[in-house]
Structure 1
């Protein structure tokens, strides 16, 4: 459940490279700094060394944490702990005789600070229900009211459990990157690190600020989170219809903040392709210095998410048709008419690289299993790779390239390729790559090679990071923009991210 039924205005505005986004959210200009959430007043925190808790609470903790390794999972389940290994690591020596949140009278001032932070999780794109809200603040009293054994120790452990999961979710995401598996509850290696970070936050002058400082520093993450907070807390505008369902907006934002927590770019200079936005950008020192439309893979040939580095580009390239495309698309054409290759500037080779005459082959007898040929397309204006191709290491054999099919860039939906990324004006990127290395003098020769259809390879002295990402929510001038989920990935991710929360 969301913290409050906030409403915010819907303002239609065009996406820079697509149709009008009728569900975009109007926001004021981005001015907020980091951290993005509002920590509680520092004056409520106790000064000096942290209290170790009363003898009664410490005794309850020792009793509750006393179990052998085999029985710990069952004990954690009975205690309501979802990150049991991390909780036990938190209370391990030299912290095995301390209580941090509970006194004999109930929650301590520091605990109230922590509970306020958890209640504000919506601001950060996290569901408060995951961390026990709204029941956790009442837990000490409710446990005592039901005569539960060791009530104060149980409350202490539950708050520690919630905070450990919160800081892990905030820093690295709730799920293991690219999967549907929760991180902290399954990754035993993450438990000691989370426990250590919570201890470090407790040693800081302000617990809230220390925890919020664990968030990813990436530009896209900060912009999206700030835009969401401004939308969540916006004042209604009299002249604009209000959005009635904040939950839907929260889910979309939360999914993409999760993706950004997995692996958002933090380099000082990099290329990023947001697949659902059909857009490539080059950023330097957090400023967009180049932006272009792109064509990405069809849903059945989805462009993968990749982190790599552009190390080389080739002008006037030859295209070597992948086997999968050759048997799926070229073989049927050859079975109809062997002249198809010559008509489209292709050549046929055997496995040893010898040129073959396609008319000498009985294509009717060739199947995908017996297809042992290589098809190549010569450099030229007709070449499927266009005038330039940019290579970066990845297991999917995906790359950026030019294309002779220019009309595709006029379409609002551009999921049209076999998985590679076609760039609208790729020579601008080639120009940028050479200039950043002080090689502008090589540009005239590069253009001459293109005109003459002479293949030329350019090895970069400084490779440039490139990220292919899938974000269905982003920002534009401080406003939220919701993008089409072209590969239908959001629903599955949402099911895992909000499992058991009723959202």
Structure 2
């Protein structure tokens, strides 16, 4: 065929960007006589492939949609549409590092198939013996470029879509920026260092990547049998359970049989402790569900959480408070170290604690509790209609919109409901108050806050998704003392302690406001061990669709 000049190739690429004519599959083979002809023919083949992609709703030959068609087109508009990854039939040094990154994509919580792993592997193998095939070089080039652009973006922002809560204010990685990153990687002959710069630097992210490697080393090559979902204490079930625990290394059969009751109970406890299940040594419904998860399921859970870290800003404040909902834990971090840690109680699945960003402004000692209307209508009003003394039993008073306390006996409760309720129910302060002794305030549209509780025994529960949405803090006193330690008045700590002893209703305004992040992480590296938490709100399950092969 008559080869096009480089100028005509550039015009063809620009035309493709404008129209995107639908056509059949691009040519799969074009053999040149001389390797020196490749630099002229390969750009023609690239232009043909771009035309095919533009007219095929952005999908490539492996049916995977390109990351961003405009970015792909922009890359090849540079240098007259020349190939990026090869010259004169020789692959750029960056090709091997790009293929290696794709092959190990799951180490980064990424999906190999998103980067055309199979066609690239096949094309790379064929090129060893078919160096004069311009169509094959073009195919390899376009697939590698799209893989690089997608990986650069996903390492920076993650696979799942960005949302209003986690929206980052830094660069959106425009077509120009992405093309610049590709050029830098190709110039170096190594994409690894360029792409590594796109990853978060948060300690939690780095630790979770390390945890994935530890998990792979321990469980990566293992596979185990699944158990029947219903627990039955039969010899057959104990045999199945023992085999399953033996396969994952939790059961030690030295000197005992596979169905030994004491050995099985010990093994079940060991498994439950590792996967944050109440360690009763019984293979109940929840334990069996977790036992039936395969190593790849846990790695997917870790990958989803790496993705959540990528949604955070590039840098976090030097001092901030983080609530991890599924871990039922609060930490205050200062210069990367945990200064305060506490168990917490979070919202149950029907009244979830929201994911949010805010700034803590003050805390209140011996607070009133203004009962949210959702709780008033759903839980309290039916009880009040049955017996108005319910209000006194719960230490509640009725307040009108002018702030006046109203006698409950003067109200016709049967006429009140969602459409008409001109009052506020307020629980008076004291040890019986649902907010406990202290409430920590931060601005948010959900009307949630951190607080103590009058039912502190619940902190001993392993599953602490129990509240109406607010976060109950076990170590509320340690948190308060931390909040006041930066106050320039040296006596303020003693003052707070005095207010507590005297049961005085006080509000302390923070001299240095503290950013607060409420987040949802179901996997982390903690004390040098991978920790997985139950997906109490089903958020992991919602995100899994973005981690499929296509």
How high is the TM-score relative to the length of structure 1?
A: 0.79
Counterpart pick for 1:488 among 538, 545, 548: 538
Q: Distance in 2 between matches of 1:129 and 1:236?
A: 19
- Determine which of 460, 472, 484 is the counterpart of 2:522: 472
Contact between 2:158 and 2:311, CA under 8 Å: does it hold in 1? Answer: yes
Structure 2 counterparts to residues 48-59 of structure 1, below 5 A: 54-59=39-44
Q: Distance in 2 between matches of 1:340 and 1:192?
A: 66
Say which of 275, 278, 299 aligns to 1:250: 299
1:300 partnered with 2:285: no
The question of 1:171 aligning with 2:171 is answered: no
Q: Which moved more, 1:72-81 or 1:303-312?
A: 72-81
Match of 2:409 in 1: 359
CA 498–78 in structure 1, closer or farther in 2 if over 3 Å, else same: closer
Q: Distance in 2 between matches of 1:154 and 1:300?
A: 50
Structure 2 counterpart of 1:229: 213
Identify unmatched segments of 5+ residues in structure 1.
Answer: 1-52
- Residue 422 of structure 2 aligns to a residue whose secondary structure is coil
Q: Which residue of 1 aligns with 2:335?
A: 285
Cα 1:104–1:497 change in 2 (3 A) is same
Change (3 A) 1:306 1:371: same
Relative to structure 1, is the Cα distance of residues 245 and 415 closer, same or farther in structure 2, using a 3 angstrom cutoff? closer
Structure number with bigger Rg = 2
Task: Kindly tell me the number of residue pairs found equivalent between the two proteins.
Answer: 437
Task: Identify if the C-alpha distance between structure 1 residues 214 and 204 changes in structure 2 by more than 3 Å, giving closer, same or farther.
Answer: farther
Aligned to 1:413, the other structure's residue is in SS state coil
The offset of 1:73, in angstroms, is 5.4
1:214 is aligned to 2:263: no
1:117 aligns with 2:101: yes
Q: Structure 1 pair 383/257, CA: closer, same or farther in 2 (3 Å)?
A: same
**2-side partners of 1:128 and 1:236: how far apart?**
17
CA deviation after TM superposition for structure 1 residue 409, in Å: 0.4
- SS of 2:56's equivalent in the other structure is helix
| Residues 94 and 188 in structure 2, CA contact (< 8 A), matched pair in contact too | no
Report SS of the residue matched to 2:350.
helix
* Range that drifts further, 321-330 or 244-253: 244-253
Distance, in Å, in 2 between the alignment partners of 1:469 and 1:203 is: 39
Give the match for residue 29 of structure 1: none
User: Quick one: structure 1 residues 141 and 57, their matched pair in 2 at CA, closer, same or farther if it must change by over 3 Å?
Assistant: farther
User: Against the structure 1 CA distance between its residues 437 and 204, is the aligned structure 2 distance closer, same or farther, given a 3 Å change threshold?
Assistant: farther
- Secondary structure at the aligned position of 2:418 is classed as coil
1:435 is aligned, of 485, 489, 495, to 485
Task: Tell me the TM-score normalized by structure 2.
Answer: 0.73
- Aligned position for 2:312: 263
Show the 5 A alignment for 1:75-154. 76-77=58-59, 81-83=65-67, 84-93=69-78, 95-105=79-89, 107-139=91-123, 150-154=135-139
Farther off after superposition, 55-64 or 205-214: 55-64
Q: 1:140 Cα shift? A: 6.1
On the 8 A contact 2:153/2:173 being kept in 1, the answer is no
Instruction: Tell me the CA shift for residue 467 of structure 1.
Output: 1.1
Which deviates more, 388-397 or 237-246? 237-246
Separation in 1 of the partners of 2:344 and 2:184?
A: 44
Does the Cα contact within 8 Å between 2:42 and 2:134 map onto a contact in 1? no
The residue that corresponds to 1:72 in the other structure is 54
Shift of 1:342: 2.4
Question: Whole-Å Cα distance in 2 between the matches of residues 449 and 132 of structure 1?
Answer: 64
Report if the CA contact (8 A) 1:104-1:152 is conserved.
no
Which structure exhibits the higher relative contact order, with contacts defined as CA atoms closer than 8 Å and separated by 6 or more residues? 1
For residue 335 of structure 1, report the CA deviation from its aligned partner: 0.6
RMSD of aligned residue pairs (Cα, Å) = 3.1
1:276 paired with 2:326, answer: yes
Task: Note the C-alpha offset of 1:235.
Answer: 9.2
User: Following the alignment from structure 1 to structure 2, what is the Cα–Cα distance between the partners of residues 410 and 286?
Assistant: 28
Unmatched runs of 5 consecutive residues or more in structure 2: 1-37, 223-244, 250-292
Equivalent residue for 2:465, pick from 412, 415, 420:
415
Higher helix share: 2
Could you tell me how far 1:356 is from its partner in structure 2?
0.8
Match of 1:318 in 2: 368
Matched, 1:448 2:433: no
Query: Helix, strand or coil: the match of 2:511?
Result: strand
- Any idea what the Cα deviations from partners look like across 1:143-201, whole Å, max 9, x if unmatched? 998x998442232111100111111111110121249xxx9xxx997544433333343
CA–CA distance in structure 2, aligned partners of residues 214 and 399 of structure 1: 34
* Contact 2:105-2:111 at 8 Å conserved across structures: yes
Cα 1:355–1:245, aligned 2, differ >3 Å: closer, same or farther? Answer: closer
CA distance 1:236–1:75, change in 2 (3 Å): closer
SS in 2 for 1:300: coil
- Check if 1:382 corresponds to 2:432: yes
Structure 2 SS opposite 1:301: coil
